[in-house]
Chains A and B, each alone.
Chain A
Amino acid sequence: MSTQPATATSSTEGEPSALSLSIDEEAKHSVIGEVPAESVMETFHLNVFYGDFHAVHDVNLTFGKNEITALIGPSGCGKSTVLRCLNRMNDLVPGARVEGEINYHGQNIYGPKVDPIAVRQHIGMVFQKPNPFPKSIYDNIAYGPRVIGMKVDNMDDLVEEALRGAALWDEVKDKLKQSAYGLSGGQQQRLCIARTIATKPDVILMDEPCSALDPIATAKIEDLMLQMRKDFTIIIVTHNMQQAARVSDRTAFFTAKPDETTGNRTGLLVEFDRTKQLFSNPADKRTEDYISGRFG
């Protein structure tokens, strides 16, 4: 947090006008690189408010089909907020309000006739902390298809398919009836991924899925994501820049801009491009500072 003003000062030296820009002007200056040819979701002038607090300012993003898009940026830059808007999980936060549009295959999921529960059946989510249900491994997987009323010919096959899809089958096939709480942290997180796969979503959102895991478990999840890319569109929020560089096809870099009077930090999109391009040749000074570890 304390590095933020320092960065602001250093950037004034280079480009004197940077500090005087209002947040509206700054948002217009987001660098949008190459956008995906075939998109699954787009945000269009997405603004998020918690009560009076403006959390995210004017984000325009395009998420490509069968791609992994990483959202990175310092704490409080609104990347998780954007992610939680994509399947309307932000509806559950009291006082949260969304302006702008989020289109899913061309349909605004914040439209008046849209059922958020139906949206979540298409757009699944994996959370930061592994959160298996206090049930058996089998029931953890079977729960989703059951509650959404999916037509399932053989639940055993579906469970196996989902567990194989999350590279967990071989480790748990002999203890499907045991509690999911007996699994290790990494296994629990893969179970949560399997649980999400079981409902056959189109898009999977991952909110820092590896931040509670050790490096070996993290590597397994990253391999898994690269495998899953052929069937799903994945959007991941991560604090780990190496992770973004390793797994993602495109990266969006967010930053937080403090309001001059209130000090509230509003998140905005700085740069969005192919991951290789963004990491090797960032267009914005702030992106460069962040990925080279100078702030954040």
Chain B
Amino acid sequence: MSTATTTARAVTTSTIATGKSKDRNLASLIFLGVLWFSLFFGVVVLLALIIDTAIEGSGRFDHYLFTDYEKSIAHEQAQKFSELRGIPVEDLSNHFTGFRGGILGSLWLMITTALLAIPLGIAAATYLEEFADSSTWYNRMIEVNLQNLAAVPSIIYGMLAAAIMGLMGFQFKGIVIGGAIALALLILPVVIITTREALRAVPQDIRQGSLALGATVWQTTRRQTLPSAIPGIATGTILGLSRAIGEAAPLIMVGLAAVQWDPTGFTSKVEALPMQIFRMASSPQEAVQEAASAGIIVLLAMILGMNAIAIIIRNKFQRSW
């Protein structure tokens, strides 16, 4: 072993085996600390809110929450509970008030919104992505305005929907179709944008392969591009709908109001869960406020459920090209 090798080894040992890491110096640690704090702040505040709400509403996680209408209770039940718990009959309704109207209303609104927004959104996105000549001024204008539409306040869509309902000749606008028009208009830009992204993710190779066989653009779109984009479209659409389910402002604008019955069709009067929560949370009665907290948890569960479905679809059908 030569002296040179020995010296080199000594030098190496002294420079790389220093016993500490440069990734752990003060600046790095401070930076890491700031990142941790930001994450902590976001997550903890959200968690605190959810836990606080869940505790407040904990007394009301019973089946009446789902089966009863707002401030209503069947007469014979009222008698029974009045005797059992020693609460005056006239005050009882507050203790058993439920969200049946809101939950069923929101479900009806979601389904109708999906029926309106999904076909329109996919068709519009398919036109823009597969057929439109993006060099023409009108197509460019549409593209720019789509981005802007996604940022329009939701209450504006409520006014628009009310106007559409008026033009269609509906006297009373607070019905399933009215609310669904408002929500569909609200999520349409989101559906279009996510569908376009899903279509864009389908490699150009697939389209070219199909066209080179002598297929038309329409055949290529219908048989290759759209089927390949379905997972992305489904994910985007569900996320759009889960935004719509939490909206109250456009629905109030259209004229949805409290109901004491189940919706039976597209022209039934309905109300939505977020509206009912808003109304009940501002009530002076503690029992009603407690129910509102429980209602918030129900709404959160519905939204999280929809998002979970979106994530499952995305993971299950994820394709690497």
Contact = CB atoms under 8 A, between A and B. Distances in A.
A216 B213 CA distance: 27
A129 B205 contact: yes
Interface stretch (B34-42, B215-223, B250-258): B215-223
B209 interface: yes
Interface in A131-188: 131-134, 143-144, 147-148
A89 B211 contact: yes
Interface stretch (A25-33, A113-121, A253-261): A113-121
Contact of A147 (B208, B223, B227): B223
Contacts of A92: 208, 211
A92 B211 CA distance: 10
B228 A118 contact: no
Interface of A: 87, 89, 92, 94-95, 117-118, 120-121, 124-125, 127, 129, 131-134, 143-144, 147-148, 192, 195-196, 199
Given A89-B211, A120-B212, A134 B319 contact: yes
Contact of B213 (A95, A132, A134, A195): A195
Given A117-B216, A118-B214, A134 B208 contact: no
Specify the main secondary structure of chain B where it touches its partner: helix
Contacts of A120: 211-214
Contacts of B213: 120-121, 124, 143-144, 147-148, 195-196, 199
26 contacts: A95-B135, A120-B211, A120-B212, A120-B213, A121-B213, A124-B212, A125-B208, A127-B205, A127-B209, A131-B206, A131-B208, A131-B209, A133-B206, A133-B209, A134-B206, A134-B227, A134-B228, A134-B319, A143-B210, A143-B215, A144-B213, A148-B213, A192-B209, A195-B209, A195-B213, A199-B214
A122 to B, nearest CB: 8
B224 interface: yes
Contacts of A147: 210, 213-216, 219, 223
B133 interface: yes
A159 to B, nearest CB: 14
Given A94-B133, A134-B319, A147-B223, A127 B208 contact: yes
A89 B214 contact: no
Contacts of A125: 208, 212
Given A89-B211, A120-B213, A147-B214, 5 more contacts: A92-B208, A92-B211, A117-B216, A120-B212, A120-B214
B88 interface: no
Interface in B213-255: 213-216, 219, 223-224, 227-228
Most chain B beta-carbon contacts within 10 A, residue among A94, A125, A134: A134
B203 interface: yes
Nearest to A139: B223
Interface of B: 133-135, 203, 205-206, 208-216, 219, 223-224, 227-228, 319
Nearest to B216: A117
B208 A117 contact: no
Contact of A133 (B134, B210, B319): B210
Nearest to A128: B205
A199 B210 CA distance: 12
Contacts of B134: 94
B200 to A, nearest CB: 15
B280 to A, nearest CB: 49
Nearest to A95: B135
A120 B224 CA distance: 18
B214 A117 contact: yes
A118 B224 CA distance: 19
A40 B206 CA distance: 28
A89 B224 contact: no
Contacts of B319: 134
B27 to A, nearest CB: 43
Contacts of B223: 143, 147
A134 B319 CA distance: 9
A266 B286 CA distance: 81
A60 B223 CA distance: 38
Contacts of A196: 212-213
Given A133-B224, A134-B228, A143-B223, A148 B206 contact: no
A272 B13 CA distance: 65
Most chain B beta-carbon contacts within 10 A, residue among A117, A131, A143, A148: A131
A89 B216 contact: no
Contacts of B228: 134
Contacts of A95: 135
B213 to A, nearest CB: 4
A94 B216 contact: no
A148 B214 CA distance: 6
